Structure 1
Amino acid sequence: MIPGPSDSITDVAGVRVGQHQRLDDHVIVATDDAAGEGWATGTTVVLLPEGAVAAVDVRGGGPGTRETDLLDPSNTVQQAHAIVLSGGSAYGLAAADGVMTHLESQGIGLAMDKRGSVVPIVPGAVIFDLSVGAWSARPDREFGAQAAANADTSVAVGSVGAGTGAQAGALKGGVGSASITFTTGPATGITVAALIVANPMGAVIDPTSGLPWGALPLELDYYGLRQPAPGEVANLLNLTAKSNPLNTTIGVIATDAALDPASVRRVAMTAHDGLARAVRPAHSPLDGDTLFAFATGSATPTPGPDETPQVPPGMNPDVALVAAVGEAAATVVQRAIVNAVIAATPVGGIPTYRETLPTAFVSG
């Protein structure tokens, strides 16, 4: 497996990402005794190619979601046209209304009649970022409409879009993305990618090494990281954790494989393994960890003659492909979370990983 050309979710053909945020120069994080000030929030939209089959898996105990029941493989509608990730907690779900309006104006959605009337299917999930800035500063339908209008194949990461006000434990969180293309095995030629908004209560950094939990030793070159100086590692103990227990890591996994709805849901389920590798603890009772997944079916695997597994009668003939895609989904989720933390820039005085451990970066 190798990273895709841009190492982002848009390496899956036909996928576009749009983001919109408002970030004031002066932002104050709220405390128990004082209200926050300023704007530091946003919305990220993933636009899906026509015909993409979608599913979702919710693991957190306090999710903020929209249209997740519709994505159950046993229900009638099994496609989506866009997936919205937003700040603003439950208020931020309003951003999806703007995405629907934008898609409707483009004639995109489920066809309802011969006159061209459509209903776009737009599931979504939100993070809690209301304590970063003013409580009333949160995304609305205009954020969603603007994010959808901004959609293209380039993906900005870090403190942008839905990750603008995100926190990752005691550090600044954000938006991250990653992709993988198979070069061997039953999924040869297939691409799997993820876009994640990292806003966990759990720690993303190992306090003993100073490296991200998800940055495995053999992958440090991929991230551009190295073992940081001991004095900087000690600084981690002085950081103050989030002032509230509300958090969430949300995201989208994409693949160009052709999978049925049940298999896509299996991919979403397996992708949570990557979240658990990169965040400790994950899936707590007060977070809303939610991962969407979709399959476009635009690519056909091309395994070698000795790489096509024999599937016993009565089993899903795509079982080996689904297993491979699920494994890759966990890896890209893990990488996207690390990439989000690495790319984050300061907001409201929340320390970033680069500020706290600058010697961890090979580039200085």
Structure 2
Amino acid sequence: MTHNAITDVAGVRVGHHHRLGDGWATGTTVVLLPEGTVGGVEGRGGAPGTRETDLLAPENLVRRVDAVCLSGGSAYGLAAADGVTRWLGERGRGFRVGDEPHEVVPIVPAAVVFDLPRSSWGNRPDAEFGYLACERATDGPVDEGSVGAGAGARAGSLKGGVGTASIRVGPVTLGALAVVNARGEAVDLSTGGLWAADIGLADEFPPAAGYAADIDVPLRSDLNTTVGVVAVDAALDKAECRRLAMAAQDGLARALRPAHSLFDGDTVFAAATGVHPVTGAADLDDLYAAAADVFARAVARGVLAATTVGGLRAYRDFWA
């Protein structure tokens, strides 16, 4: 691992664009994928806000995805994917529908989180957010916390945010990125311990530090959603990608309590770049188990890295 981030999967790039202050606390995060990437998706929340998810079903035509757009703004924020589509189209990336280089339709699945209470009404991501996130995408370290689609995120009683992590399984690299905006808690508020701390890398997560006497737990939000991407440099088909996303959802459930509520739209996308062949069900199963762990770590890291926005205080305000 180089960055302990989804960008450790070769060819994957991540970009954020957000606005904070002056009535804004929202943004967009884009995961740009190398050509030939196969996609899948799994949704388990009761209130999803998504685009192009049906296209990723194994029985449907298109196998490849060009990018995944994750955004704040609830259903309004799906407009950010229009900017990602435009950015890719300008570069000739997409499903080819004609003979000319520009005759493509970019495939950009998207999912949104509900962060509207953190901004003045009407302030939400649009196509420009998606375009600018693409412009800023890199294959290096990924900013975490109150950035991009995590700018206005909330995790139970605390500030949520963007988290990312990676892991190696033999020659294969898996990476995850999560936008944590959950109804459930990522932290045991009685101890300060992260629910996913037991599967962290050495020194990745702090030990439980005890009850924070001055914590002022606000009323829980009724509309939420955690979304994300798990990527792997293995050769998987669409059905295997869906199973990878299903495993990542299990990791989400380890890191958040409760998870997949009626008020969450929990959606995880999977992306396989096709570098390493996978032979046999046992190897596949190892990847699925690792996907659960790495996504749980990404969720925990998003909460750990978040900073206070407005009156919504962060983990670091109570437990150093």
The AA in structure 1 aligned to 2:110 is: G
Judge conservation of contact 1:133–1:348 (CA < 8 Å) in 2: no
Work out the CA distance in 2 between the residues paired with 1:6 and 1:20.
Answer: 20
In 2, Cα distance between the equivalents of 1:357 and 1:67? Answer: 40
1:240 equivalenced with 2:202 (yes/no): no
Q: Distance in 2 between matches of 1:87 and 1:256?
A: 28
Whole-Å Cα distance in 2 between the matches of residues 135 and 65 of structure 1? 21
Cα distance in 2 between the residues matched to 1:111 and 1:289: 31
Q: Kindly provide the amino acid, as one letter, of the partner of residue 54 in structure 1.
A: G
Indicate the residue corresponding to 1:34 in structure 2.
Answer: none
Question: Could you tell me how far 1:208 is from its partner in structure 2?
Answer: 3.1
1:99–1:141 Cα contact (<8 Å) kept: yes
Code of the residue aligned with 2:168 in structure 1: it is: T
Residues 253-272 of structure 1, C-alpha deviation per residue, up to 9 Å, x if partnerless? 00001111111111111111
Aligned to 1:322: 284
- C-alpha root-mean-square deviation of aligned residues, in Å? 1.4
User: Does the Cα contact within 8 Å between 1:55 and 1:292 map onto a contact in 2?
Assistant: yes
Give, in whole Å, the separation in 2 of the partners of 1:253 and 1:221.
Answer: 22
Partner of 2:114, secondary structure, is coil
Q: Deviations over 1:230-287 (max 9, x none)?
A: 352x444x31133x30000000000001111111111111111110011000001111
Deviations for 1:296-344, whole angstroms, at most 9, x for unmatched residues? 011346xxxxxxxxxxxxxxx5311221111111111100011001110
1:161 and 2:123 matched: no
Shift of 1:291: 0.2
Aligned residues: 318
- Counterpart CA distance in 1 for 2:291 and 2:131 is 29
Mapped to 2, the partners of 1:270 and 1:220 lie a distance apart of 19
Task: State the identity %.
Answer: 53
Instruction: Describe the shift of the 1:199–1:319 C-alpha distance in structure 2 as closer, same or farther (beyond 3 A).
Output: same
8 A Cα contact 1:189 1:300, kept in partner = no
TM superposition score normalised by structure 1: 0.85
Decide whether aligned partners of structure 1 residues 220 and 193 sit closer, same or farther in structure 2, where only a CA change above 3 A counts.
closer
Moved segments of 4+, more than 6 Å: none
In structure 2, the CA distance between the partners of 1:254 and 1:198, relative to structure 1 (3 Å rule), is same
Matching residue within 28, 31, 38 for 1:43? 28
C-alpha separation between the residues in 2 aligned to 1:224 and 1:209? 14
1:183-194 counterparts in 2 under 5 A? Answer: 188-194=170-176
Provide the rounded CA distance (Å) in 1 between the counterparts of 2:280 and 2:92. 33
Match of 2:234 in 1: 257
Aligned partner of 1:70: which letter?
L
Report the equivalent of 1:60. Answer: 45
Alignment of 1:120-139 (within 5 A): 120-139=106-125
How big is the shift at 1:207?
Answer: 2.7
Kept in 1, the 8 Å contact 2:155–2:185? The answer is yes
Distance, in Å, in 2 between the alignment partners of 1:231 and 1:108 is 51
The equivalent residue for 1:80 is 65
In structure 1, the residue matched to 2:157 is: 170
Structure 1 residues 207 and 103, CA gap change in structure 2 (3 angstroms) = same
Distance 1:96 1:171 in 2: 28
Change (3 A) 1:81 1:220: closer
1:42-73 superposed Cα distances (whole Å, 9 cap, x missing partner): 00000011000000000001000000000001
1:72-221 equivalences under 5 Å are 72-116=57-101, 117-154=103-140, 155-182=142-169, 188-216=170-198, 219=200, 221=202
Give yes or no for contact 2:197–2:205 (8 Å, CA) kept in 1: no
Q: CA deviation at 1:133?
A: 1.7
Return the offset for 1:149.
1.1
Q: Distance in 2 between matches of 1:205 and 1:156?
A: 21
Is the 2:194–2:208 Cα contact (8 Å) retained in structure 1?
no
**Equivalent pair of 2:192/2:211 in contact (CA under 8 Å):** no
Cα distance change, pair 219–332 in 1 and its aligned pair in 2 (3 A): closer
Q: Distance in 2 between matches of 1:43 and 1:250?
A: 12
Counterpart-to-counterpart distance in 1, 2:34 and 2:137: 13
Q: CA deviation at 1:224?
A: 4.2
Counterpart pick for 1:70 among 51, 55, 61: 55
Equivalents in 1 of 2:282, 2:156: separation in Å? 36
The secondary structure found in structure 2 opposite 1:138 is coil
| 1:113 to partner: Cα distance | 1.2
Q: Name whichever of 333-342 and 291-300 sits farther off.
A: 291-300
Aligned-partner SS, 2:290: helix
Greater fraction strand: 2
Q: TM-score, normalised on structure 2?
A: 0.96
User: In the alignment, residue 160 of structure 1 is paired with which amino acid?
Assistant: V
Partner of 1:307: none
Aligned counterparts of 2:40 and 2:312: Cα–Cα separation in 1 = 34
